[in-house]
Amino acid sequence: MKTRRDFIKISAVGTGAAALSLKAFGSNGFGLFKSEPDGPVSDEDLTPYPTYCEVCFWKCAGWAYVDKSGRIRKVIGNKEDPHCNGRLCPRGTGGIGMVYDEDRLKTPLIRETKKDGSQYFREASWEEALDLVAGKMKEVKEKYGPEAFGLFNHGTPGGHFHHLLRAYGSETNAEPAFANCRGPRSSAYYSTFGAYIGSPESTDIRDTRCLVLIGSHLGENMHNSQVQEMSEAIDNGATIITVDPRFSTAAAHSSYWLPIKPATDIALLMAWIHVLIYEGLYNKEFVEKYTFGFDYLKEHVKNMTPEWAYGITTIEPEQIRRTAREMAGAAPAVVVHPGRHVVWYGDDTQRERAMAILSALLGAWGKRGSLYLPEGISVPHFPQPEYPEPKWTWKNLNYGKYPLATMGITTELLKASIPRYNYEHQVKAWLVAGTNLPLSMPDKPLFKEAAASVEFIAVMDTMPMDITGYADVVFPEATYLERYDVIRLAPNREPNIALRMPAIEPKYDSKPGWWIAKQIGERLGLHDYFNYDDYAEVIDWQLKKLGTSLEEMKKIGVKKFPRKSGPLYLGDGEDFTFNTNTGKVELYSTDFADHGFDPMPKYTRHPEPPQNFYRLIYGRAPMHTFSRTSNNPNLSDLMSENSVWVNPKVADLWGLKKDQKVWLKNQDGAITSFPVKVRVTERIRWDSVYMVHGFGHNNKKLSRAFGRGAADTEMITNVAVDPIMGGTGMRGNFITFLTEDPALEGKEVKA
Amino acid sequence: MKEELFVSGRNIPNIDPYLNIWHWQIPLYLFLGGLAAGILFFAGFYVVRGKEKQMQATVKWAPIIAPIALVLGLFALFLDLKHKLFFWQLYTTVRLESPMSWGAWTLMIISPLAFIWVASYMKELVPGWNWKFSLLEQFEAWVIKNRQYFAWAMMIYAIILGVYTGILLSAFNARPLWNTSILGPLFLVSGFSTGLATIIWISKDEKERKKLSRIDLIFIIIELFLITHLFMGFKAGSETAIEAANLFLGGPFTVSFWVFVVILGLIFPAVLETLEIWGFHVPKWLPPVMILIGGLMFRFIMVEAGQITRYLY
Amino acid sequence: MRYAMAIDTKKCVGCGDCVVACQTENNVPHGYCRDWIVESVDGTYPSISLEFRSERCNHCDNSPCVRCCPTGASHIEEGGIVTVTHHKCIGCGACIQSCPYDARYSHPDGYVDKCTFCLHRVQKGQNPACVDVCPTRCLHFGDLDDPNSDVSLAIKDRKWKVLAPEAGTKPQLYFLT
């Protein structure tokens, strides 16, 4: 058994790859051989292939235009697609860079140990790599049961492995998208409205009269159709209220910007609720007919006046009242945007609850311009045997801790992997598909310990992301433009489906995720679960069940179906039973009360930065999707590194200049691996700093991303866990500046 | 606080963060052009004045440098071109509004003139020189006969060339430092001054040198006057012009410009020339070398600094 | 006919999609761009204003780059679109010096390159690539001589500005403020 797993940088790959990449460099560097044709090519000379984007989770449908030499020239949005309306965002347009990134994983890799104990990756054949993983899976099944093989997944590639592991007998899976991102919102809205908010969120921004954004920075997150609809809302003269300690892009386009003191959002929300109730501005009809617990709520918020909130949030009482009245005036056409990455302070489910309650008081549910009633379509399963019933699943890991979690929690899976936590159910091996855990999760030490503890890690990715350095086997996955994938089925205003098919053959020796999963499945004797030669057969079978076909979908890419569940909005006075304990919108959550949590949100004070420290706020840039696009040649061209935003007053205090490189150190003494440039800007408060997430890669093989900027995740060592659903609150970390290289300092001390 | 920045990662080579598309080639080209213009002008001038005999170095010897300088200058210009194989496109059209086109054509005319000028004196410069072909001998005779006309043509084209070296820059109104009509006369005067310096350096005739020194002094004074005027104009101008001037008035180019160009390249040699005229002993090469270095630096600084000045961002 | 573009700074979020779309449409080499985004911040926290501008060649009515070109490579196409004929360009850099917007650059292959308003698309009645991709629809393109064109309608009832009007080039990018 391995006790320690070195982090291997894939740059240590054999000489063959090095020689290859040198050759590539030479031919590009000297321009001797021109592989790229010049100038624009007219659309008539290009062949479009339907796809849906994999650069982010929005999954916009589009067309990959391939020229006569077999090169993808551009990716353009599908006009019929409600996710993008024919307009991809910069990442979708630049998705082409995922294919032509010369740093891609090119062949399977297997970890080897030299005589001197050092470890390296050896290029391997598919046969060998697949055999090894299948063998390990058999071994784990025999020794510990299949449940001990855990899966970390994200996006469509994860789906194929989810299927594989279910067939194998494991449902021990988690994705950072839940506990490290939008989990609190799911639990909060589910407990309030008995429904999830979905993805794309069912926000009717297009027709709203008032859009309320609380720490949600549309425009910096390019959630495509939402950003498009915000623009429409601006055209329509909608009131936009943005609550953010930072002057975000959305704030710049807003009618009201409330520059709130960080970590005090609940106080503001409760004060808004107070104003709506005590000024009699709430939607009495809605509250009467559909909600439960109004009287409790009224009593609960009695003293939560704007004056009370002013002392906490630093927002003027008059401003709180005025914005509350704006909302009431626009009701029910108000979107209180639930946000997406909402794990901030550990009481996030409660904050999301407050937002849900606010919406309910405004009657802003199921009405035009608020939250519409989404409808999706379901596809029948391709014929396969029933999945075996695992003895335990991710639910058992959460059991007794996070009763209202609706998905597996990544940190729990990590802890279950570490023997000293002594979990009843322990995880012994991992499959990681499409998620770069070291950069997408807080508390890196925990991750490292877990990675060192498990017996085996297999990673599938298209790029040599940091996670691949922890793997025993690395599978190079074909990019989304080179493969078939599951049919996209996200609910929307109209049910719709989208097809992803290969525009070109996979480059290098990469393979589609479905193929890799099937190959492992075959080796495990699970052929009946993978009863096809090509995933296109599955898609065609499913499409025919839906009354279309692969042939038709190849021509149209996206197909819409008529709604079956009734209209998009709730009719006036229409009876509606909510999927909650009381069948009503629960202003007072009976679920929470049952589990011993506050049934109504309360403001709790969170720690504030100590002297000379600043709260770390992180966020997104519109041209990047977290850490996965940092090396994309098209997108790194737009933004190659992040910077740390510092208020001019703070910069003066520290003598920091624009573009000066600093290292960051947090309250626990963690220091960033790389320096980051300072941006001196008025757009950030003096008690906080801001960074775009996803930079500071530590793998040299990422030639464009390595060492560019700093990773905010390295500064997030203090995690405030949400007791309700296990969310990992990450905004309670404070940083200070180091202007000298900390590595040099250490050396000097030694000398 | 005001902040203006590119947020789409724009960082184009030679454009960002500061324009730097012209490197050493263009200032060298301008310097050599001005120098040749100066030499050729005075060669023509003294022939027209009928002082060929008294001004041997000016009329016969120094002009040897002119065609060499012009060829080197053209070569520098060629090196500056990024799409070199297409350079002949310059001579497929005459673009009256384009200073580059003017320059290309002016050089196309003045370079052969310079060569012919030197060739017509070959027999005097190199005793026993023989053209070997009768056609060439006939042509030489024709040139010598019409030397007055050649002298006039050369003077006119020398002025055009000298002014052109300044106009090439001043035509770009996007670069506030260059966009002033003073640059034409300033570069003309400066170019003539470097031409004179070269002749003075070459000349072995005391009388000729004194005469030329007196003229050079006048040119240096005019040059100083024009430089003062240049900055007065900037300071009285728009914000962009003031910013341009500030590069030289406290900005990064202050020392290199005022110390090396104005003091060491103009005032100091002017003092030395004056002393020489008054009969003090001054190393013969010193004032010309200082003027030449000053002139070269002047062009380097103007090209470099001008590219930094802009309207936006 | 007079092609022009209006950019709605009240809607632009500075995502850079116009830049990538231009790069893929026109095969612009990595490290270069024909359009770009400027973020302009003014004020003191919390009274701040912020403007995003998607900028590119202004296709000026009085275009200095065309005037100073020694070979005629830089020229004006139909509708006032300023373009460069690659095989006529000698790469002297004069046009780059002449542009107050720094909208031109020297292509690695030697010639000078710039925004063409996607002439190859416009000639077929399409919009420039940047306009068609913009998620916020903040870019409006069309013929100013046609009162019903997208750009004419966009600037009709809005306040607008042009960049560096003092440079006297009569630029044709209208920034709606």
- Check C15 against A90: CB less than 8 A apart: yes
Query: Rounded distance, CA B27 to CA B219, Å?
Result: 21
Confidence at residue A2, expressed as pLDDT on a 0 to 100 scale: 39
pLDDT at A253 over 50: yes
Min Cα distance C76 → chain A (Å) is 19
From chain C residues 48-67, the ones with a CB under 8 A of any chain A CB are 48-52
Amino acid at A415: K
pLDDT at A37 over 60: no
CB pairs under 8 A between B and C: 163
Q: What percent of chain A has pLDDT over 70?
A: 94
Mean pLDDT for C153-174 is 95
Residues of C in contact with A635 (CB under 8 A): 20
What rounded mean pLDDT belongs to chain A? 92
Instruction: Provide the number of structural domains found in chain B.
Output: 1
Residue C105: name the closest of A462, B166, B14 by CA. Answer: B14
User: Angle at the Cα of B114 (from B112 to B116), degrees rounded to 5?
Assistant: 70
Mean pLDDT for A51-75 is 96
Angle between helices B286-308 and B147-170 (to 10 degrees): 40
Min Cα distance B1 → chain A (Å) is 7
Confidence at residue A10, expressed as pLDDT on a 0 to 100 scale: 55
- Residue B238 domain-assigned (yes or no): yes
Min Cα distance A207 → chain C (Å) is 15
Confidence at residue B200, expressed as pLDDT on a 0 to 100 scale: 95
pTM for this model (two decimals):
0.92
Out of A433-447, A607-621, A635-649, A676-690, least confident range:
A433-447
ipTM of the complex: 0.95
Min Cα distance C3 → chain B (Å) is 23
Interface test with C, best of A93, A226, A240 (most C CBs within 10 A): A93
Interface test with C, best of A96, A101, A231, A481 (most C CBs within 10 A): A231
Query: Which chains sit next to A, with 3 or more Cβ pairs under 8 A?
Result: B, C
DSSP A11-68: GGS-HHHHHHHHHHHHHHHH--S--SPPS---GGGSEEEEEE--SSTT--EEEEEE-T
Interface test with A, best of C35, C136, C139 (most A CBs within 10 A): C136
Tell me the pLDDT band of A180, cut-offs 50, 70 and 90. Answer: confident
Confidence at residue A441, expressed as pLDDT on a 0 to 100 scale: 82
Q: C85-116, pLDDT tens digit by residue? A: 999 999 999 999 999 999 999 999 999 999 99
- Residue B50 domain-assigned (yes or no): yes
Tell me the pLDDT band of A724, cut-offs 50, 70 and 90. Answer: very high
Interface test with C, best of B85, B87, B100 (most C CBs within 10 A): B100
Q: C47-89, pLDDT tens digit by residue? A: 999 999 999 999 999 999 999 999 999 999 999 999 999 999 9
Domains along the sequence of chain A with CATH: 184-374+581-594 (3.40.228.10), 614-750 (2.40.40.20)
C83 bridge partner residues: C75
Query: Rounded distance, CA A77 to CA A224, Å?
Result: 11
Query: Rounded distance, CA A559 to CA A185, Å?
Result: 30
Confidence at residue A5, expressed as pLDDT on a 0 to 100 scale: 56
Confidence at residue A745, expressed as pLDDT on a 0 to 100 scale: 66
Residues of A in contact with B8 (CB under 8 A): 623, 638-639
Q: Is residue C30 within a helix (H) or strand (E), and if so which, with residue range?
A: none
- Check C13 against A639: CB less than 8 A apart: no
Confidence at residue A400, expressed as pLDDT on a 0 to 100 scale: 80
pLDDT at A467 over 80: yes
Confidence at residue A569, expressed as pLDDT on a 0 to 100 scale: 96
| CB-nearest partner of C135 from A31, A96, A222 | A222
Q: A675-695, pLDDT tens digit by residue? A: 999 999 999 999 999 999 999
Instruction: Give the tokens for residue B126.
Output: 């190199």
Comparing C19 with A157, which gets the higher pLDDT?
C19
Confidence at residue A26, expressed as pLDDT on a 0 to 100 scale: 33
Amino acid at A692: V
Yes or no: domain C3-176 corresponds to CATH 3.40.50.720: no
Min Cα distance A76 → chain C (Å) is 8
C6 bridge partner residues: C140, C174
- Check B311 against C164: CB less than 8 A apart: yes
Q: A637-653, pLDDT tens digit by residue? A: 999 999 999 999 999 99
Structural domain boundaries enclosing B122: 25-308
Residue B97 touches chain A, beta carbons under 8 Å: no
Length of chain B measured in residues = 313
- Check B174 against C98: CB less than 8 A apart: yes
- CATH number of domain containing B276: 1.20.1630.10
Residue A365: name the closest of A513, A160, A214, A585 by CA. Answer: A585
Residues of C in contact with A686 (CB under 8 A): 45
Interface test with A, best of B3, B5, B6, B83 (most A CBs within 10 A): B3
DSSP A556-601: HSEEE---SS--SSPPTT-----SSTTSSEESS-HHHHHTTS-SS-
- Check C38 against B7: CB less than 8 A apart: yes
pLDDT at A22 over 80: no
pLDDT at B110 over 80: yes
- Residue B202 domain-assigned (yes or no): yes
Confidence at residue A12, expressed as pLDDT on a 0 to 100 scale: 41
- Check A638 against B3: CB less than 8 A apart: no
Confidence at residue B1, expressed as pLDDT on a 0 to 100 scale: 87
Residues of A in contact with B13 (CB under 8 A): none
Min Cα distance C130 → chain B (Å) is 14
- Residue B15 domain-assigned (yes or no): no
SS3 per-residue string spanning chain B: CCEEEECCCCCCCCCCCCCCCCCCHHHHHHHHHHHHHHHHHHHHHHHHCCCCCCCHHHHHHHHHHHHHHHHHHHHHHHHHCCCHHHHHHHHHCCCCCCHHHHHHHHHHHHHHHHHHHHHHCHHHHCCCCCCCCHHHHHHHHHHHHCHHHHHHHHHHHHHHHHHHHHHHHHCCCCCCCCCCCCHHHHHHHHHHHHHHHHHHHHCCCHHHHHHHHHHHHHHHHHHHHHHHHHHHHHHCCCHHHHHHHHCCCCCCCHHHHHHHHHHHHHHHHHHHHHHHHCCCCCCCCHHHHHHHHHHHHHHHHHHHHHHHCCCCC
Confidence at residue A23, expressed as pLDDT on a 0 to 100 scale: 37
Out of A437-441, B169-173, C46-50, least confident range:
A437-441
* SS3 call for A243: strand
Query: Which chains sit next to C, with 3 or more Cβ pairs under 8 A?
Result: A, B
Q: Which residue of A has its CA nearest to B11?
A: A637
Confidence at residue A29, expressed as pLDDT on a 0 to 100 scale: 35
- Check B9 against A639: CB less than 8 A apart: yes
Mean pLDDT for A208-215 is 96
Q: What percent of chain B has pLDDT over 70?
A: 100
Tell me the pLDDT band of A8, cut-offs 50, 70 and 90. Answer: low
Confidence at residue A16, expressed as pLDDT on a 0 to 100 scale: 42
